[in-house]
Amino acid sequence: MKLLISNDDGISALGIRTLANALAEAGHDVTVVCPDRERSATGHGLTLHQPIRAEIVESIFHPSIKAWACDGTPSDCVKLALWALLDSPPDLVLSGINQGANLGTEILYSGTVSAAMEGMIEGIPSIAFSLTSHLVRDFQPAAKFATILVEKLAVKPIPDLMLLNVNIPAVQWEEIAGVKLTRQGVRRYVDVFDKRIDPRGKTYYWLTGEVLEEVEPPEGLNLPQQVPIDVHVVRNNYISITPLQYNLTYATGLDKLSDWNFSLS
C-alpha cells in the first residue's frame, strides 16, 4: 500500500522512525512528512500568515522511505504532502506512533489525531497510533500491531470514510490482552495550572494537572452503552480502536432545539 506518515513529536522521534521503518520493511511504499520539531497539543492548527518550508531528510529512515521535515503543524504537514509533495494520493494516512496516550477528550488537542484527521478531511481513510506512556521507549509492539492492521486493511479496506484512533498499552507484545473496538471517553484534569514566580518576581503559569479518567461520557450523546470506553480498556492492557469522524454536529441537540421558533420581523 502507498502510505503517508506524519506525527506531532517531530522528525527525530523514535515513534515515527519505528512505525515508518516497520511498514517499509513489510513492503509498503512509505512517505514521511512531519514537523521538524515537537508540535504536541497543537490541535488542528494551520499556518496561514507565514510560508511553510519543507526539507528532504536523509539517513534517518529505511532507505526506501522518502522523508521531509516541515516547519509547520502536523495538519500543515499532511496538507502539504497531499497537495504539493506527493505525486498521487496515498491509500492511507497514518500518524504516530505518539509518545503518550490520546484518549477521551484529549483527542481534541492532539496533533497526532489532527494529522490523521487532515487525511480524512481530504477523503483518505486515516489512522492515529499512540503508545500509552510518556516514559516507555519500546515502540516495537505498537509498530507490530500497526503492521498487522495495515495488512488487514490492504485485504479488507475500512468500509467508510473514518479515522481510527488506536491506543496501544505500553507493555510487551505477550502482555497485550487483545483488541477492542471502543467509544471515546472523557478525560478531565484537576489542578490544571501551577502558579510560579520567575527570577524577576513576575508571575507565570505552567499547564499541568492530574487526569481524571473515570468520568463517563454524557448520556445525551447517544453512544452505544454496550461498547467499552477507550480509557478503560487500555488500563487492562487491551489495544483500543475508536472510529472517529470530523462532523461534530450534535444530533440530539437538533431534536431538542427543533421547537425553537424565531421571528426576525
- Binding-site residue set for a divalent metal cation: 8-9, 40, 98
Cite the annotated binding site by residue number.
Answer: 8-9, 40, 98
Assess contact for 222 and 215: CB atoms under 8 A: no
Contact yes or no for 89/127 (Cβ under 8 A): no
What is the Cα–Cα distance from 163 to 246, expressed in whole angstroms? Answer: 9
Q: Residue 183: how many CB atoms within 10 A of its CB?
A: 18
d(CA 99, CA 40): 10
Helix (H) or strand (E) holding 240: strand 238-244
Report which of 143, 141, 149, 144 is spatially closest to residue 1, judged by C-alpha positions: 149
Label residue 225 exposed, middle or buried (CB < 10 Å: 0-12, 13-18, 19+): exposed
Distance in angstroms (rounded) separating the CA atoms of residues 34 and 264: 49
126-131 and 92-99 beta bridge pairing: parallel
